[in-house]
Structure 1
Amino acid sequence: MKNIVITGSTRGIGFSMAMEFLRAGCNVILSGRGERLPEAAAASLSLFEGKYIYVPCNVQHKASLQNLWDTSMDQWGRIDIWINNAGQNAPHKYAWETGESYTDNIIKTNITGMIYGSQIAAAGMLKQGHGAIYSMEGLGSNNMIQPKTILYGTTKHALTYFTKGLTKELEGTGILAGRLSPGMMLTDFITRTPDGDPSEVISDERFRRIFNILADKPETVAKFLVPRILSNTRNGAQIAWLTNRKAAWRFMTAGFRKDRLI
């Protein structure tokens, strides 16, 4: 039985992974900015009473992440896997059109928050003598440039660089660092702006066509990622759902597929 901490796990891929870890018999620490779990999430977790706790956490603040670690340790005694999943997007606009607050939030959440989380998890795991740290990749991690999303892509490119570096720094310590590559998913990142309004990106016909070929629901991706996270023993592993081969196959068979997400 492993104890899992997931930042940004009240919805989307974070919540779907939490559910899969619970189904696999793990204890899970969920976290988000709200003071309590959203009602829908709490209802879905009703079958797992005693197997999870929720800890409010704003990853932009290192003290908040430290509290997440400390509270998790108080509850379970050890943390086996820490997943940096909390993420922020920005409006679908050119970089020079993006406001200061959106720019600050995407950097402080996707880069600074991920680094803080990794620092705290690495320090704690080195003391306990074991553990694994994973960070969630995204558009930009593979050097792809998509206009009007380059702030998000920049943060994910930095995440990949940092995680590869952390892998080298942890060599020989018994602590693992790795990357999770979920591909394209139908989440609020796609359908909503940071303010909760409908995103204009989904009205782009070219985007819709590509998205419907390549994207999946977060539940599908979580079912793939979680067992591989639990079984991985290799430092520096990248656990990737949408591989180049899989993407090529989807494009070749796109005319025969009828499942459309948007």
Structure 2
Amino acid sequence: MANIVITGSTKGIGFGLAKAFIKCGHKVIISGRSNESVREALDRLQTPACKCQGFVCDTSDRQQVEALWQYAQVSLGSVDIWINNAGLARTGWSILDIPQEEIEAMVHTNLMGTINGCRVAAAGMQLQGQGKIFNMLGGGSDGEYFPGMGIYGSTKRGLDYFTDALGKELKPSGILVGKIRPGMVVTDAVIREARSNPDRFARSRKFMNNLVDQVDTVAEFLVQKILNCNKSGEKIRWLTGGKMATRMLVGMVRKREDQFARHGL
């Protein structure tokens, strides 16, 4: 049984990971930016056998991340797996048109939040003598370009380099550092952006429908890979190049079930 901390886990893929870990019998601490979001997530996760706790944490504030680590230490005794999942995706704008506040929000959360999480978790794991740290990557982290994702993709590309560097620096300690690429998942953020710009969503819906997946499907796959991962630097990937190519080819002859309809889109 592992003790796990997941940042930004009151919704989306982070929540899905928490649910999947709990289903496997592990102890999980979820976190989010507000008491309300943490309470609501815990209510949704509660089962007779649930081993889950929650803590309010804004990862862009190092002191709050340190408080999350201390809470986990006291509550669980140790942290075996720390997942830096907290992130923001504000897409649909060109680099010149995106509002300044959206740029700063993504940089602070995606970059500084993950760096804070890694530094705090790594320091704590060095003291306890073991642990695994995983960083959530995303579109752009491999250097690919997506229209409207210039800033978001840049933060994820930066995280890819940062994660490689951290893994090399921590190699002598035995602390494992890995990457997660969940692929295209129908999250609250995707639904929000689809509703905010229905014309753009309508144009890309058919293409996206061949590639997107539901949170629970992806999360259960990722959890097994995370638990079994024993090599630093490994990239756990759901939507591989081969899978993408196969889906696009199949989509030319057979229509896939609409992955968005169940979400009211």
TM range (shorter): over 0.9
Mapped partners of 1:120, 1:159: distance in 2: 16
Q: Deviations over 1:211-255 (max 9, x none)?
A: 101110111100100011111111111110001111111011113
RMSD over equivalenced CA pairs, Å: 1.7
Task: Sort the Cα spacing of 1:201 and 1:148 in 2 relative to 1 into closer, same or farther, 3 A.
Answer: farther
Residue correspondences, number: 259
Choose from 220, 224, 227 the match for 1:227. Answer: 224
- Name the CA distance, whole Å, in 1 between partners of 2:155 and 2:198: 19
C-alpha displacement at 1:91, in angstroms?
4.5
Q: Which amino acid aligns with 2:55?
A: V
Local SS of the residue matching 2:158: helix
1:261 equivalent in alignment to 2:259: yes
Deviations 1:162-203 (A, max 9, x none): 00111111112110000001000111221215xxx9331673
Structural mapping, 1:73-222, within 5 Å: 73-193=73-193, 198-200=195-197, 203-222=200-219
1:147 to partner: Cα distance: 1.7
In structure 1, distance between residues paired with 2:159 and 2:93: 22
User: Which secondary structure state, in structure 2, belongs to the residue aligned with residue 180 of structure 1?
Assistant: strand
SS for the counterpart of 2:177 is strand
Normalising by structure 2, we get a TM-score of: 0.93
Q: Could you say if the C-alpha distance between residues 202 and 153 of structure 1 is closer, same or farther in structure 2, counting changes exceeding 3 Å? A: farther
Change (3 A) 1:202 1:235: farther
Are the equivalent residues in 2 in contact too, given 1:36–1:56 (CA < 8 A)? Answer: no
Q: What CA deviation, in whole Å up to 9, does each residue of 1:22-59 have, x standing for no partner?
A: 01111000000011445653332120566111000001
Inter-partner Cα distance in structure 2 for 1:245 and 1:142: 16
Structure 2 unaligned spans of 5+: 261-265
Structure 1 length as normaliser, TM-score? 0.94
SS at match of 1:192: helix
Q: Percent identity?
A: 38
**Does the 8 Å CA contact 2:30/2:38 hold for their aligned counterparts?**
no
Whichever residue aligns with residue 145 of structure 2, its letter is I
Aligned to 1:250: 247
Shift in Å at residue 206 of structure 1?
Answer: 4.1
8 Å CA contact 1:132, 1:175 repeated in 2: yes
